[in-house]
């Protein structure tokens, strides 16, 4: 490398320089400012539960070791009070000059907000009744060279919170709580599925045909094979191949990618659960859906009556099942098969009816008129068959597909079918979908291998998809998908 291309590091600002000076002084004490393995520290939430002597007690409380980040610092001269926090919560630490030894006291005077420290001490209470670790030893575990956000307001700028999630997490406890909640929801899902005998698998995220949904895919390229590849937009078609292979209860919980707009309900990559049960149908999937979501609720706090965006939803099972047709009639006011009346209603609502199939108009009316009313949770069942190319038709009712969607607060949370396993009908439906579709719409590419798999006979099955990000929003009372995705897609900034 030519020397003149080497970037000279920017001069640190005053705030950073002062911390670098302290870093050097900590090293001069013979301490490693970046710390080492620190065994035996206990979660702070646990320390808060320990039996400890009351304020003013003469005998010391039980010895403990904790580790965390300094969030508040009150320097009273020969005694310092710190509030440190780990991912379970905060606790106060009292550092007395006489109690921590000479080096410990010198270290205490070099600590800043944001530093990571380990504390050995005893648990007790101060005179004002605050639970406190009275330090007998201090260990520096990581010197923070940058100042943390303001101690009272934290980091509030929504952009900075997403870009610097590491800062958001350690300054805003509600953010940490949301992401730990998300983890609990995912773990609960896996536990419920495992208890029911499902196996977790991993399909390809890079595919030569991105099928299973209608969405614009991301495109990439494999150099060695000189192959155009798409990031998957759904999990469906590969999981069904596994049903053919004999995996009877199978699921994948993973990322899918859709090259479309970003909104409070949409991120280009999001997490989906898809589960398939051989010899089941959409009724078995409704029961599974209830079990999964109730399992997640129990893992969080067990509250079945939950608020979201100021409204209340009651998740006590069983959740109502309502047919698409009956909801349509109730809210639109006409029968969905009375196409003349349907068109009139559509025109009244400003929906264009030119060159549209009757069923497309029905679907648009349903979306606009019915869905906002579905506070739920409610299973909408039995969809118009033309909307459901991957779904088995109801026996004796070829115009009805055995499909349900679960709605809560007007948001589609889950989508499930009795899976279509007739390869001849499947091929016919695929070809019908092809007509008039944009070339980039993935359904417009026939997946011949999937049809070949079906020809080997796929068992009749129930299949379920759940948008995990939206479920997290709902159960954690967050109103932006960015609040439940750790690193949402953003344009690069110039930092």
Residues at the interface with RNA (CB under 7 A): 13-15, 18, 22, 72-79, 81, 83, 92, 94, 96-99, 112-113, 126-130, 132, 146-147, 149-160, 162, 213-216, 258, 260-264, 266, 387, 389-390, 415, 433, 443, 480, 482, 490-494
φ and ψ at 104, to 5 degrees?
-60, -40
Cα distances from 143 to residues 26, 107, 155, 327, 489, in angstroms, run 9, 11, 20, 60, 30
Cβ proximity to RNA, 87 vs 105, nearer residue: 105
Q: Where are any strands of DSSP class E within 419-481?
A: 461-467
Q: Left if phi > 0, otherwise alpha if psi is -120 to 50, otherwise beta: which for 229?
A: beta
Q: Which among 48, 82, 39, 42 is positioned nearest to 64, based on CA atoms? A: 42
Smallest gap, in angstroms, from Cβ of residue 302 to RNA? 30
Cβ proximity to RNA, 138 vs 193, nearer residue: 138
CA 303/CA 294 separation, integer angstroms: 9
Tokens of 259: 């090259």
CA 175/CA 492 separation, integer angstroms: 22
Smallest gap, in angstroms, from Cβ of residue 424 to RNA? 18
Cβ proximity to RNA, 295 vs 389, nearer residue: 389
Cβ proximity to RNA, 37 vs 494, nearer residue: 494
Cβ proximity to RNA, 91 vs 141, nearer residue: 91
Smallest gap, in angstroms, from Cβ of residue 93 to RNA? 10
CA 230/CA 255 separation, integer angstroms: 13
CA 138/CA 162 separation, integer angstroms: 33
Smallest gap, in angstroms, from Cβ of residue 226 to RNA? 28
CA 393/CA 70 separation, integer angstroms: 61
Give 107: exposed, middle or buried? Use CB within 10 Å, 0-12, 13-18, 19+.
buried
Smallest gap, in angstroms, from Cβ of residue 65 to RNA? 20
Q: Hey, how many other C-beta atoms are within 10 angstroms of the C-beta on 355? A: 7
Smallest gap, in angstroms, from Cβ of residue 123 to RNA? 13
Cβ proximity to RNA, 5 vs 435, nearer residue: 435
Cβ proximity to RNA, 83 vs 175, nearer residue: 83
CA 46/CA 26 separation, integer angstroms: 30
CA 425/CA 421 separation, integer angstroms: 8
Give 464: exposed, middle or buried? Use CB within 10 Å, 0-12, 13-18, 19+.
buried
CA 130/CA 94 separation, integer angstroms: 11
Cβ proximity to RNA, 83 vs 315, nearer residue: 83
Q: Which among 358, 366, 369 is positioned nearest to 382, based on CA atoms? A: 366
Q: Which among 444, 443, 412, 165 is positioned nearest to 266, based on CA atoms? A: 412
Cβ proximity to RNA, 41 vs 482, nearer residue: 482
Smallest gap, in angstroms, from Cβ of residue 13 to RNA? 6
Cβ proximity to RNA, 95 vs 296, nearer residue: 95
Smallest gap, in angstroms, from Cβ of residue 450 to RNA? 13
Question: Using an 8 Å Cβ cutoff, are 434 and 250 in contact?
Answer: no
Smallest gap, in angstroms, from Cβ of residue 488 to RNA? 8
CA 102/CA 105 separation, integer angstroms: 5
Cβ proximity to RNA, 261 vs 310, nearer residue: 261
Smallest gap, in angstroms, from Cβ of residue 155 to RNA? 5
CA 489/CA 495 separation, integer angstroms: 16
Smallest gap, in angstroms, from Cβ of residue 295 to RNA? 26
* Residue pointed to by tokens 């026939």: 446
């Amino acid at each position: 490398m030519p020397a003149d291309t080497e970037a000279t590091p920017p001069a640190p600002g005053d705030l950073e320089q002062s911390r670098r000076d302290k870093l050097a002084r900590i090293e001069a004490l013979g301490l490693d400012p970046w710390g080492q393995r620190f065994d035996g520290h206990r979660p702070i939430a646990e320390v808060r539960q320990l039996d400890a002597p009351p304020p003013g007690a003469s005998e010391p409380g039980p010895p403990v070791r904790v580790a965390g980040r300094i969030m508040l610092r009150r320097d009273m001269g020969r005694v310092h009070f710190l509030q440190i926090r780990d991912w379970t919560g905060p606790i106060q630490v009292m550092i007395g000059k006489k109690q921590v030894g000479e080096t410990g006291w010198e270290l205490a005077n070099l600590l800043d907000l944001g530093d990571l420290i380990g504390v050995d001490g005893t648990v007790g209470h101060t005179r004002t009744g605050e639970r406190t670790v009275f330090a007998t030893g201090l260990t520096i575990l990581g010197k923070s060279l940058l100042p943390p956000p303001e101690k009272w307001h934290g980091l509030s700028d929504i952009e900075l919170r997403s870009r610097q999630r590491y800062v958001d997490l350690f300054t805003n406890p509600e953010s940490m709580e949301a992401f730990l909640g998300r983890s609990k929801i995912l773990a609960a899902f896996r536990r419920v599925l495992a208890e029911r005998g499902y196996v977790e698998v991993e399909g390809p995220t890079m595919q030569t045909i991105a099928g299973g949904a209608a969405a614009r895919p991301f495109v990439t390229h494999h150099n060695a094979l000189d192959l155009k590849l798409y990031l998957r937009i759904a999990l469906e078609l590969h999981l069904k191949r596994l049903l053919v292979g004999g995996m009877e209860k199978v699921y994948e919980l993973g990322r899918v990618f859709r090259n479309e707009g970003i909104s409070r309900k949409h991120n280009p990559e999001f997490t989906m659960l898809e589960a398939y049960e051989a010899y089941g149908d959409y009724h078995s999937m409704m029961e599974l859906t209830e079990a999964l979501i109730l399992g997640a609720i129990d893992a969080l706090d067990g509250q079945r009556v939950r608020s979201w965006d100021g409204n209340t939803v009651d998740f006590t099972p069983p959740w109502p099942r309502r047919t698409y047709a009956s909801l349509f009639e109730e809210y639109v006011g006409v029968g969905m098969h009375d196409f003349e009346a349907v068109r009139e209603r559509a025109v009244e609502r400003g929906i264009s009816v030119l060159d549209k199939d009757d069923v497309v108009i029905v679907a648009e009316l349903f979306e606009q008129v019915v869905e906002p009313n579905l506070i739920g949770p409610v299973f909408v069942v039995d969809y118009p068959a033309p909307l459901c190319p991957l779904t088995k038709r109801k026996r004796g009712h070829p115009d009805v597909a055995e499909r349900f969607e679960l709605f809560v607060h007007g948001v589609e949370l889950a989508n499930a079918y009795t899976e279509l396993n007739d390869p001849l009908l499947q091929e016919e439906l695929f070809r019908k979908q092809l007509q008039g579709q944009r070339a980039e719409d993935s359904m417009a590419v026939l997946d011949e291998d999937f049809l070949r798999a079906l020809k080997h006979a796929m068992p009749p099955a129930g299949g379920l998809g759940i948008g995990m990000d939206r479920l997290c929003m709902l159960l954690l009372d967050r109103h932006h998908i960015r609040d439940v995705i750790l690193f949402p897609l953003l344009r690069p900034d110039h930092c």
